[in-house]
Structure 1
Amino acid sequence: MKKHSILWAAAAATSLALLSACGGGGGDSPAASTPPPVVVTPPPVVNPPTPPATDPPPSTPPAGPPVIDPNNPPDWLALANRCERPRAGHADAQGTLMDELKWLRSFYGETYLWYRELPTGLRLEDYTRAVDFFDDYKTWASTASGRAKDRFHFTYPTEAWEGLSSSGTEVGYGVTWSRNADPAAPRVWAVAMVAPSSPAALAGMRRGDGLSSVDGVALTDNTVDGVARLNAGLFPAAAGEAHRLVLTRAGVPLTVNLTAAQVDNPPVQNVKTIDTPTGKVGYLQFDDHNQLSESELAKAIGTFKAANVVDLVLDMRYNGGGYLAVANELAYMIAGPAATSGKIFEQLQYNDKTTPQPPDMFRTKAYGFKSSQLAGGAALPYLGLKRVTILATAGTCSASESVINGLRGIDVEVNLIGGDTCGKPYGFIPANNCGTTYFAIQMQGANNKGFGDYADGFQPTCRVGDDLDHALGESAERLLSTALAYRDSGICPAQPMANRARAASGAVSGPMTLVRPQVREIAIRNR
């Protein structure tokens, strides 16, 4: 029996525009508009989601994978880009909503990792938007701990996805927010990170500033109108939108007027060396495995190599992932050729309808992304370290976790300082159709030792709360200072009281979590 090859299909179906090394097509489908972040809505129901009403009890799994003949390709190849509303300037053909729905059912029926658990009773005729069907077309099983097995199923406008995946550009103010993790408590938001030269930076916003109100609406407002206005002000839909935020800094109110713009979010920042009695330690803030980061990481590692650093602190506390090839290259640049030669960085495991793929060995040469300044095949610099310290939180996700797992698979000592990582050993091949990019789990990764079971995240070596009272990269910042102390003594230092975020209601204690869309927490297969 012949099995389906995702990679063969991607090459054969150029009109589908599965993500390649230089990205896919653009789009502006109304159905693909970004959903309002759940963090500013009233507290969500904490019970597991209910499967669609049309979903019958799981049927008996088929006896084996279907026969897929490359000379008689599956329906989704012919249905790709047959759109209900074709976009001008794109390779869209006039089609119907039913064409889009059938494309989804065909494509993910073949490539979804848990295709045997897809609901079989969904009626396409009951859907008025393709994205709504996609939301229901996934496994509804739960893990042993009661969490949804598939928590990672989502869509994004293709045009917006292209900007993020290539250079990190997006419409907004250039601010990353952190919020209190307890959905039942009154909202508390604080600035976690500000992009250089962004509207937020030019307005004087800083890490640790608390949020009080947006356009005159208190952050704690739970009315329908209030929530809508908070969303509109915090997440502007277009460049040029102007909104007023009231912040607090050290208990003093601060009003800022912001105009949304197309913001560049640099993936690599704060590259510096720290002098210690036992040698130089490199510090690197790494926020996004996007295309641009390939050359930026190589430049940083080259700087560290020239400085003869003996250790590295890699700050990935807010890095949700991105391209697995970048994660692979970074792991190699840390460990070097002696530790990685002939070793597997990650073996991606697909469903049994898919032709098994060869493992991804450690990359010694650059992939050469479109937005990177490195040419494909350029030799990568390396440090040859036998240990690395990674600053991590629940915002450390997906491809970032692949770096951790890949290095541990070749016996590089990886010490984690901070909190549990997010727990996403899964990857995607983003698929663009009619202006929407669909993300459904199609693979799970394992390292050189065959380990890939970290759905509950990696636990920290030293547990430390995120410190919003200091800038990232400051030696006094709690995660970094803990990393340096642990390096010297091998003992986790005693921690002060739980980190406190400043907010309109005053300083409050408790865990915080990042505010960002799922598209920033992914592992992307780029070939």
Structure 2
Amino acid sequence: MSDPRPRPLAARAGLAAFACFILALTSACDSGSSGNDSAASPIVDDDEAGTGSGWVSGVFLPASTFAAQCRDPRTGNDPRDDRPWPAIQGRPVGEHNWLRSWSNDTYLWYDEIVDRDPGLYDDPLEYFDLLKTTERTPSDAPKDRFHFTYDTEDWIALSQAGESAGYGAQWTLISRSPPREAAVAYTDPDTPAFDAGVQRGARIVSIDGIDFVNTNDQENLDALNDALFPESAGETHAFEFRDVGSETAHTVVLTSEIITATPVQHVGTVTSPAGATVGYMLFNDHLRTAEAGLIDAVRTFNAVPGGIEDLIIDMRYNGGGYLYIASQLGYMIAGSAATAGHDFERLQFNDKHPETNPVTGSPLRPIPFYSETEAAPSGRPLPTLDLRRVIVLTGPNTCSASESLINGLRGIDIEVIQIGEPTCGKPYGFYPTDNCGTSYFTIQFRGVNAKGFGDYSDGFVPNEGA
């Protein structure tokens, strides 16, 4: 049975990006925005309009007052603890009131949310889209790009077991405007894409006869999006790929399945020109299932005669996930001596909660470098490499928990050599919170390392000359 305790989740790029993948081909995507926030609805000062919400501007009851008041109450049990889902018959306004109070209490920039009457909206997802800051960064990007939702059952399957519908191929967008370009970042073993011989680096030419490179028709873009990210198993689509180094394209018919992701792949060693033994692994996701793969990787490196002298971690496609996985990996890289007495990361919530975690209710304590296993069997010592430096391959999809790993190691003076492209810049995170079958992701904290540094909203830049 999975651990039901809330765990902080760094703001994963991959989750929010899925819904925006095709939209981003032709326009900017704000990851969840439903349009012009300021003009979405009239703002009124009381409930005289008869919405029935009981709304008074600036007055907030505790979110628990409205929790689990669902338009469509769930039946069955939560698979994480086998307890019945909490739910009573309610109306959409009950779900909206919960969102409003919960956001006001826990959202990092709660004082930048425009307070709107929840009774004016029919859809909780529409209302949630408005419960975020509309401020912009100096570069004119949205300040909050990480505001999104997941169906709770889908989120549990993905985060606990690494399961989701798909083909086993991870796509990466290279160029968003025609002639646009997208490629296969990697494939998971024993999946339709892997079994069909889909190659890492292959470019998408067309899908179901639709020109992926040049089409701008919205109907075609919608069809491409549906094919790239199937909602369920059993969906069949014809993909035309051009492999790296090839001038010709070939067609592969793929049928979606429920895919179990393999977060750690291609573990091995190479010998450098100087004769040093260098370890390499592709690390794609900070899911719970990554723990076992990371432990196996470290044991593989330790089994090499004389051990490894350097380690390369390829995180170019790692959008983040659970911070405790990043902390465990940091410990396994640096070892007990280097991490003793140091924090991996400290979480900072909004000014309503300077000393207490508003989600767990516990006193704020730093996240340590975890030295033991979390997954069953829990409490076992983690193996270590005791390295003084690590090499990381990064790109624009290297986000949040991956950046926390870089920042956490630098906080204890472990040299991190960064090669590739700048990371995405997400020093923020959240606790996925369920209500009425939807898991809501709203920015609740920022993270800083043992030296107090956490200002990397523009990303980490590769070492000069790397």
Question: Normalization by structure 2: what TM-score?
Answer: 0.84
- 2:81 corresponds to which residue? none
| Cα distance in 2, alignment partners of residues 460 and 95 from structure 1 | 52
Cα RMSD (Å) of the superposition?
A: 2.5
Residues 212-361 of structure 1 mapped to structure 2, 5 A cutoff? 212-219=205-212, 220-249=214-243, 250-276=246-272, 277-307=274-304, 308-354=307-353, 355-356=355-356, 357-361=364-368
1:172/1:261 contact within 8 Å kept: yes
| Cα distance in 1, alignment partners of residues 42 and 238 from structure 2 | 46
| Cα distance in 2, alignment partners of residues 147 and 111 from structure 1 | 23
1:41/1:222 contact within 8 Å kept: no
TM-superposed deviation, 1:141: 0.8
1:336/1:383 contact within 8 Å kept: yes
Aligned match for 2:114, one of 106, 116, 119: 119
Residues 378-417 of structure 1 mapped to structure 2, 5 A cutoff? 378-417=380-419
1:55/1:119 contact within 8 Å kept: no
| Cα distance in 2, alignment partners of residues 112 and 394 from structure 1 | 25
- 1:51 corresponds to which residue? 37
| Cα distance in 2, alignment partners of residues 331 and 454 from structure 1 | 19
2:278/2:312 contact within 8 Å kept: yes
1:18/1:431 contact within 8 Å kept: no
- 1:196 corresponds to which residue? 189
Relative to structure 2, which stretch is displaced further, 217-226 or 131-140? 217-226
Residues 155-174 of structure 1 mapped to structure 2, 5 A cutoff? 155-174=149-168
Partner SS for 2:242: strand
Q: Deviations over 1:34-65 (max 9, x none)?
A: 98434256611589974322487xxxxxxxxx
Aligned match for 2:421, one of 419, 422, 425: 419
- 1:187 corresponds to which residue? 180
Aligned pair in 2 of structure 1 residues 325, 55: CA closer, same or farther (>3 Å)?
farther
Aligned pair in 2 of structure 1 residues 34, 316: CA closer, same or farther (>3 Å)?
closer
Q: Deviations over 1:319-349 (max 9, x none)?
A: 1111101101110111111111110110100
1:19/1:430 contact within 8 Å kept: no
2:206/2:241 contact within 8 Å kept: yes
1:18/1:432 contact within 8 Å kept: no
2:8/2:323 contact within 8 Å kept: no
- 2:102 corresponds to which residue? 107
| Cα distance in 2, alignment partners of residues 38 and 364 from structure 1 | 37
The letter of the residue matching 1:299 is D
| Cα distance in 1, alignment partners of residues 227 and 448 from structure 2 | 41
1:327/1:402 contact within 8 Å kept: yes
Question: Normalization by structure 1: what TM-score?
Answer: 0.75
Q: Deviations over 1:479-503 (max 9, x none)?
A: xxxxxxxxxxxx64xxxxxxxxxxx
Aligned pair in 2 of structure 1 residues 38, 305: CA closer, same or farther (>3 Å)?
closer
TM-superposed deviation, 1:194: 1.3
TM-superposed deviation, 1:18: 8.2
Relative to structure 2, which stretch is displaced further, 192-201 or 411-420? 192-201
- 2:142 corresponds to which residue? 148
Relative to structure 2, which stretch is displaced further, 197-206 or 214-223? 214-223
| Cα distance in 1, alignment partners of residues 281 and 229 from structure 2 | 29
Aligned: 1:430 with 2:432: yes
TM-superposed deviation, 1:363: 1.5
- 2:73 corresponds to which residue? 86
Partner SS for 2:406: helix
| Cα distance in 2, alignment partners of residues 241 and 46 from structure 1 | 26
Aligned pair in 2 of structure 1 residues 38, 290: CA closer, same or farther (>3 Å)?
closer
Aligned pair in 2 of structure 1 residues 202, 35: CA closer, same or farther (>3 Å)?
closer
- 1:503 corresponds to which residue? none
| Cα distance in 2, alignment partners of residues 46 and 134 from structure 1 | 17
1:112/1:440 contact within 8 Å kept: yes
| Cα distance in 1, alignment partners of residues 322 and 21 from structure 2 | 26
- Percent sequence identity over matched residues? 43
1:34/1:157 contact within 8 Å kept: no
| Cα distance in 2, alignment partners of residues 415 and 92 from structure 1 | 50
1:340/1:362 contact within 8 Å kept: yes
2:8/2:430 contact within 8 Å kept: no
| Cα distance in 1, alignment partners of residues 215 and 314 from structure 2 | 35
| Cα distance in 2, alignment partners of residues 288 and 140 from structure 1 | 29
| Cα distance in 2, alignment partners of residues 432 and 195 from structure 1 | 29
In the alignment of these two chains, the number of paired residues is 417
Aligned pair in 2 of structure 1 residues 35, 198: CA closer, same or farther (>3 Å)?
closer
- 2:361 corresponds to which residue? none
The letter of the residue matching 1:189 is A
Aligned: 1:139 with 2:122: no
5+ residue gaps, structure 2: 10-15, 44-59, 77-84, 357-363
- 1:63 corresponds to which residue? none
1:239/1:260 contact within 8 Å kept: yes
The letter of the residue matching 1:391 is L
The letter of the residue matching 2:240 is V
TM-superposed deviation, 1:379: 0.8
Partner SS for 1:252: coil
| Cα distance in 1, alignment partners of residues 325 and 20 from structure 2 | 28
2:21/2:225 contact within 8 Å kept: no
Aligned match for 1:37, one of 4, 20, 45: 20
